[in-house]
Structure 1
Amino acid sequence: MEQKPIIRVMLVDDHPVVREGLRAMIESQPDMQVVGECENGKDAIASFHTLRPEIILLDLKLPDMDGIQVIEVIRESVPDARIIVLTTYVGDVQARRALRAGAKGYLLKASLRRDLRDSIRAVHAGGIKVQSEVATDLARHEAAEHLTQRELEVLALIASGLSNKLVADRLGIREDTVKAHVTSILNKLKANDRTHAVTIALQRGFLEL
């Protein structure tokens, strides 16, 4: 029988236990090999250029930089780099950002035992693999309006418990302007009130706990 080529994989996650589990799942396969492990974004970028793995498994939540920044930096120099995001975030916002940055896969950590190995093979073969739950969220919110950067700033301050006046003071804008932003946020998120808007924003990934 013809032997399949070995898929060389690099792991990027700041939790050693997670990396250990990923390594065990991958190296149980005859056609896969872990060639490197990194615990932060800067090391991941440097190691990618040294090791040139065919697949990168990347956590979005890294201690030194946003995982999406890592995708952008790597793909700026190597546009065909194949990166699969591994995350605990179900919401559509982070998934859309990651895919726009160039990720070729987006998987939830809770179901890696079911989907990881087939996803690595699919992405290695040139495909795109997005978990079904995430794909459903992406489709559901495809036509939704996106929040502006200023609206995200207002929403984050509201989530921290600040009143409109304190938000205005913090951002150096008028309270009436904050009220207008809040109205826009409620409309875009189809929220009933400020608390509901924060809940929706957390669920969709506009905000992180």
Structure 2
Amino acid sequence: MDPTAPTLILIVDDHEVVRDGLIATLSSDERRVIGVATGEEALESVHRERPAAVIVDLRLPGMSGHDLIASLRKEHPELRIVVLSTHLSERSVRASYEAGADVYVAKSAGSEELRTALTGVLQGHIREESPADLVQRLRGGTPLSPQLTPQQERVLSLAAQGATDKEVAHTLHISESTVRFHMQRAKELLGARSKTQVIAEAIRRELITPDSP
């Protein structure tokens, strides 16, 4: 293996927009990030590509995230495994750790929490935190997710379905410049740099869903 080659990270999430957002957020000169949609694809990709770390969503078609983690841990004990989930409960965290995950990140915690967790496991620093402590830390203090306005939510929800600015403007009876204004404000609130990233971030924080009307 070329020691100068970028570290390979695998994303396992069945929402394409979330995968694309994570790839854009986490990719750098030091990291190459690829994505797959199912647990079966992940098993094949890990065997073929030999990534350093895998980021796993717990809700996957065909195979649960916990089953995938257990299989990956058994077949590739050196692999670093990060859970990225909408669920934040002691039961979910404990089941993930028991399956073999190294660290658990709630999607509502945002990109910085994920980047910190990923960097830590890649450097061999596994966070010593009980399920109860992790849930308390992520739920305590200030709200984890900024609040979007109803119009910003509508704009992002339509964009997540693939609507263009013109189509969003027509549906909401506003101008295209107003659509772009709401999109820009949402980017600023969620710390995103692109349309794809802001949609992915909004979905991860459960501010919108991909199939929102």
TM-score of the alignment, normalized to the shorter chain, above 0.5 = yes
Distance 1:58 1:136, change over 3 A: closer
Q: Could you tell me how far apart the structure 2 residues matched to 1:77 and 1:133 are?
A: 25
The two structures, once aligned, show a CA RMSD in angstroms of 2.5
Secondary structure of 2:32 counterpart: strand
1:127 lines up with 2:147 in the alignment: no
2:11 touches 2:55 (CA, 8 Å); kept in 1? yes
Aligned match of 1:61: 59
Q: Larger relative CO (CA 8 A, sep 6+): 1 or 2?
A: 2
For residue 133 of structure 1, report the CA deviation from its aligned partner: 8.7
Q: How many residues align?
A: 135
2:58 touches 2:64 (CA, 8 Å); kept in 1? yes
1:82 touches 1:124 (CA, 8 Å); kept in 2? yes
Aligned match of 2:209: none
Q: Could you tell me how far apart the structure 2 residues matched to 1:71 and 1:64 are?
A: 14
Aligned match of 1:7: 7
Aligned match of 2:16: 16
Q: Deviations 1:94-145 (Å, cap 9, x if unpaired)? A: 1101111111110011223221222111001112248899634389xxxxxx
1:87 touches 1:108 (CA, 8 Å); kept in 2? yes
Which is greater in Rg?
1
Amino acid at match of 1:93: R
Aligned match of 1:102: 100
Distance 1:5 1:135, change over 3 A: farther
Aligned match of 2:146: none
Unmatched tracts of structure 2, length 5 or more: 138-213
Secondary structure of 1:86 counterpart: strand
Q: Percent identity?
A: 32
Aligned match of 1:71: 69
Distance 1:39 1:128, change over 3 A: same
Aligned match of 1:143: none
Q: Could you tell me how far apart the structure 2 residues matched to 1:68 and 1:53 are?
A: 19
For residue 4 of structure 1, report the CA deviation from its aligned partner: 8.0
- Given candidates 72, 81, 84, the residue that maps to 1:83 is 81
1:41 touches 1:64 (CA, 8 Å); kept in 2? yes
1:105 touches 1:130 (CA, 8 Å); kept in 2? no
TM-score by length of 2: 0.57
Distance 1:138 1:50, change over 3 A: farther
2:84 touches 2:105 (CA, 8 Å); kept in 1? yes
1:148-187 counterparts in 2 under 5 A?
A: none
1:56 touches 1:83 (CA, 8 Å); kept in 2? yes
Q: Could you tell me how far apart the structure 1 residues matched to 2:134 and 2:114 are?
A: 19
For residue 79 of structure 1, report the CA deviation from its aligned partner: 1.3
Distance 1:134 1:52, change over 3 A: farther
Amino acid at match of 1:12: V
Q: Could you tell me how far apart the structure 2 residues matched to 1:94 and 1:87 are?
A: 9
Q: Could you tell me how far apart the structure 2 residues matched to 1:60 and 1:14 are?
A: 10
Amino acid at match of 2:8: R
Unmatched tracts of structure 1, length 5 or more: 140-209
